Amino acid sequence: MSKLTAKQFERECADPYTTEPLAVQARNHAMAAGADISESQTGKEAGIKNPRKGGGEYKTDIVFGSHRVSVKKDGAVQLSSAEGKTSANMIRKVLQSFPADQRTLMDEPRLQKLADAIEKMPVKSLAHHNVEKAKERKPIIAESMLENGKIRPQFDWDKYSTTQRPWIDKELRDYLAQYPVFKHRFVEEALTGRYTMGHDNSASASHVLTPYYYKPIDDEYINSVANSPSFRARISAKSRGGVTSGTLRIDYEVCK
């Protein structure tokens, strides 16, 4: 399998003149499925920007004619990895997409409580093993979270990870298992961004491209992801320069 990074694979898939075997393979799948691969460019080249309003997460990586394409290389891939406010907004927007009478059958207060907890995830915190790294790379931020050399309780990622994080992970897992109709749209949003950005927004994806297939992101494909044994949704730590932020990470595995 190619040693391309995911981002390099995206760019190669958008290049009409690529000779990279994995990208050529993917583009051939797209052409066979009816995509206009002669009109291909990256999302950036197409002028697609991450929306500043609505709290959505950009999903369109490349464009084939009128198709807005999410590119996934192979193996384990991220569908979403957004911080608390964006992730909570995602959950609320998906919930709001259902009529009121249906929401009452989905234990709306329980889901709102979960969204509130996710929204309160630390945006900036310190893990104990990263303190020295943070002090070296982001000294001003790090010092603001320390007192007498120790992490102040409200910025202690390890403390959060052993208290709030397990409850959120279990509650999210249990809720998605109990309400598969919500899970379907939750996965749809993670794949496309349709509910936070709008079905016709240029940043929301309409198709998915992998080395093995090119498909519209329709109910059949969404179900295949939602019911995949590799599907996972849980709280994860994202570290930049030793400073940690909590994210809601959603993954599955791309395979033939």
DSSP state of 54: S
Residue whose structure tokens are 């104990």 = 128
Give the pLDDT of residue 54: 56
Spatial distance between the Cα atoms of 145 and 44, rounded to a whole number of angstroms: 36
Give the pLDDT of residue 236: 96
Spatial distance between the Cα atoms of 138 and 115, rounded to a whole number of angstroms: 30
- In three-state form (DSSP H/G/I as H, E/B as E, the rest C), the secondary structure along 156-203 is EHHHHHHHHHHHHHHHHHHHHHHCHHHHHHHHHHHHHCHHHHCCCCCC
In this structure, is residue 169 part of a structural domain?
A: yes
Residues of the chain with pLDDT under 50: 1
In this structure, is residue 1 part of a structural domain?
A: no
Report which secondary-structure segment, H or E, holds 104.
none
Task: Please count the residues of the chain.
Answer: 256
The tally of domains found in the chain comes to: 1
In this structure, is residue 147 part of a structural domain?
A: yes
Give the pLDDT of residue 49: 81
Confidence (pTM): 0.93
Spatial distance between the Cα atoms of 125 and 201, rounded to a whole number of angstroms: 33
Per DSSP, what are the bridge partners of residue 248?
82, 235
In the chain, the amino acid numbered 235 is I
In this structure, is residue 79 part of a structural domain?
A: yes
- The total of other beta-carbon atoms located within 10 Å of residue 89's CB is 20
Give the pLDDT of residue 256: 84
Q: pLDDT tens digits for 177-207? A: 999 999 999 999 999 999 999 999 999 999 9
Pairing of the two strands 75-83 and 146-147:
unpaired
- 30: helix, strand or coil: helix
In this structure, is residue 68 part of a structural domain?
A: yes
CA dist 12 to 84, 138, 147, 238, Å? 32, 34, 48, 27
Full residue range of the structural domain in which residue 90 is found: 6-254
Q: pLDDT tens digits for 143-174? A: 999 999 999 999 999 999 999 999 999 999 99
In this structure, is residue 198 part of a structural domain?
A: yes
In this structure, is residue 235 part of a structural domain?
A: yes
